C-alpha cells in the first residue's frame, strides 16, 4: 500500500513487476512499411477469382503468342471446299467452315489479332488519359479547362459509333489502326478518373511537405502524386481491356474492322452468319473464346478494383 496524502481515502498502486509488457504491445522497428501494392497483392491472392482469371488470361495470351504449338494446320492455306461445313474429324476437333477451313486453327490463330487490338488500345488509352488527366488535375486553371473541354467533346461521342464512322473512311485497317481508332474515342474515361485522383492527391500532406522542401511542381507530380493516384486507373484499364476486345469484334462483325484476310474472332463470327442455321457450331466456338477472354479480364478487373479500393483496404 502506497502512502496516501489523503488519509481519508486509500489507493492501491501496482508495482512495475506486477504489470509486465506483453508481447503484443511490442513494436518491430525493423519491419518494412506496407505499401498500397503490397496490401493489394495480399488481398488479391486470397481470392480464388484472381487465380481463375489469371490462369485463363495466361492461357489466352500463350495461345495468342504461340498458336503453332497447338495446331499444325495453316488456317488460310488448307481450305478445301470438299470439307465445307464438315463435322469434327481427327485433327479437326471443331469441324470446318463453309469455305472448308479448319475452325480450331482459325480460333487459335484469330486470338492474336483480337488480343493485340485490346492490349494496344488499353495501353494507348491509359497513357493518353493518364497524361492529360494528371496535367489537368495538378496544374488546373487554363490547362484544366482546355483538356477537360476536349475530353468532354470526345466523351460525348459513343466509342463504337465514332469508330464505325472513322473506320469507314480509313484506307488501311491493320490491328494498330483499329486499336488507335478505339483509343481515340475511349481515352476520356481514364482522363476523368486520373484527374479526380490527382485532385485528391495534391491536397495531401506529403505534397505540401514536398513543396516546402523546394521540389519543382513537375517533380512532385512524377515522384509523389502519380504513384499515389494511378491505382484507380489500373483497375479501370483492366476491365476496359475486355471491352476493347469486344469493340474490335463488333467492328469486324459489321465489316468496318479488320479486313477478312486478317483472322480474328470478330471476322470468324461475321463469316459464320451464313452457316448459322445449318452449322451453328462454327459461330459458337469463336464466340465462346471471345466470351471467356472478356470474362477473364472482367473478373480480374473486379478483383483489382476491390483490392485497390480505399474503403476495402480500411476494413482489412
Helices (H), the chain: 36-45, 48-65, 103-139, 141-155, 159-167, 175-201, 205-212, 217-220, 226-229, 231-253, 265-271, 281-308, 310-315
Instruction: Encode pLDDT of 49-100 as tens digits.
Output: 999 999 999 999 999 999 888 888 777 767 778 778 788 888 888 888 888 8
Identify the residue with better confidence: 83 or 291: 291
Predicted local confidence at residue 1, as pLDDT = 47
Whole-prediction pTM:
0.82
38 within a domain of the structure (yes/no)? no
Query: What's the alpha-carbon Rg for the chain, to the nearest Å?
Result: 28
40 within a domain of the structure (yes/no)? no
Predicted local confidence at residue 131, as pLDDT = 93
Tell me the average pLDDT across 200-217: 83
14 within a domain of the structure (yes/no)? no
Residue 221 pLDDT > 90: no
Tell me the average pLDDT across 149-172: 91
Please classify residue 133 by burial: count the beta carbons closer than 10 Å to its beta carbon, then call 0-12 exposed, 13-18 middle and 19+ buried.
Answer: buried
Q: Domain count of the chain? A: 1
Write the CATH number for 280: 1.10.3720.10
4 within a domain of the structure (yes/no)? no
175 within a domain of the structure (yes/no)? yes
Residue 9 pLDDT > 60: no
Predicted local confidence at residue 30, as pLDDT = 59
Residue 123's domain comprises 49-315
16 within a domain of the structure (yes/no)? no
Amino acid at each position: 500500500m502506497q502512502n496516501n496524502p489523503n488519509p481519508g481515502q486509500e489507493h492501491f498502486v501496482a508495482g512495475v513487476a506486477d504489470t509486465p509488457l506483453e508481447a503484443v504491445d511490442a513494436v518491430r522497428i525493423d519491419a518494412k512499411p506496407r505499401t498500397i501494392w503490397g496490401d493489394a497483392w495480399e488481398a488479391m491472392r486470397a481470392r480464388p477469382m484472381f487465380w481463375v482469371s489469371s490462369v485463363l488470361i495466361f492461357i489466352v495470351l500463350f495461345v495468342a503468342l504461340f498458336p503453332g504449338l497447338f495446331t499444325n494446320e495453316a488456317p488460310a492455306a488448307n481450305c478445301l471446299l470438299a470439307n465445307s461445313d464438315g463435322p469434327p474429324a481427327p485433327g479437326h476437333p471443331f469441324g470446318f467452315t463453309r469455305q472448308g477451313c479448319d475452325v480450331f486453327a482459325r480460333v487459335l490463330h484469330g486470338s492474336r489479332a483480337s488480343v493485340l487490338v485490346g492490349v494496344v488500345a488499353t495501353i494507348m488509352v491509359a497513357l493518353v488519359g493518364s497524361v492529360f488527366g494528371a496535367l489537368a488535375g495538378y496544374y488546373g486553371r487554363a490547362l484544366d479547362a482546355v483538356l477537360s473541354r476536349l475530353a468532354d467533346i470526345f466523351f460525348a461521342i459513343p466509342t463504337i459509333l465514332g469508330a464505325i464512322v472513322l473506320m469507314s473512311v480509313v484506307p488501311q485497317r491493320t490491328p494498330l489502326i483499329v486499336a488507335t481508332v478505339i483509343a481515340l474515342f475511349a481515352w476520356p474515361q481514364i482522363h476523368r478518373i486520373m484527374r479526380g485522383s490527382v485532385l485528391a492527391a495534391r491536397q495531401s500532406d506529403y505534397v505540401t511537405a514536398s513543396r516546402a522542401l523546394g521540389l519543382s511542381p513537375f517533380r512532385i507530380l512524377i515522384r509523389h502524386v502519380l504513384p499515389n493516384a494511378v491505382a484507380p486507373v489500373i483497375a479501370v484499364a483492366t476491365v476496359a481491356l475486355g471491352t476493347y476486345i469486344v469493340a474490335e469484334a463488333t467492328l469486324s462483325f459489321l465489316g468496318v474492322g479488320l479486313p477478312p484476310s486478317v483472322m480474328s474472332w470478330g471476322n470468324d463470327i461475321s463469316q459464320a452468319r451464313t452457316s448459322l442455321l445449318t452449322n451453328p457450331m462454327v459461330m459458337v466456338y469463336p464466340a465462346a473464346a471471345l466470351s471467356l477472354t472478356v470474362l477473364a479480364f472482367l473478373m480480374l478487373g473486379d478483383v483489382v478494383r476491390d483490392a485497390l479500393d480505399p474503403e476495402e483496404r480500411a476494413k482489412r
